[in-house]
Amino acid sequence: MAKEIERKFLVASDGWRNTADGGTRFLQAYIVTMDDRSARVRLMDDKRAKLTIKIGSGSMTRDEFEYEIPVQDARDMMTKAIGLVIEKTRYEVKHRGFLWEVDVYGGAHEGLVVAEVELGTEDDKPILPDWLGTEVTGDPHYSNQYLSTSPIISKADHELSYSPF
Q: Give catalytic residues, as residue numbers.
A: 30
Q: Give the dihedral sign, CA 14/19/25/31.
A: negative
Contact 122, 5 (CB under 8 A): yes
- Residues β-bridged to residue 24: 90
User: Which runs of consecutive H residues, i.e. helices, occur in the chain?
Assistant: 71-78, 144-147
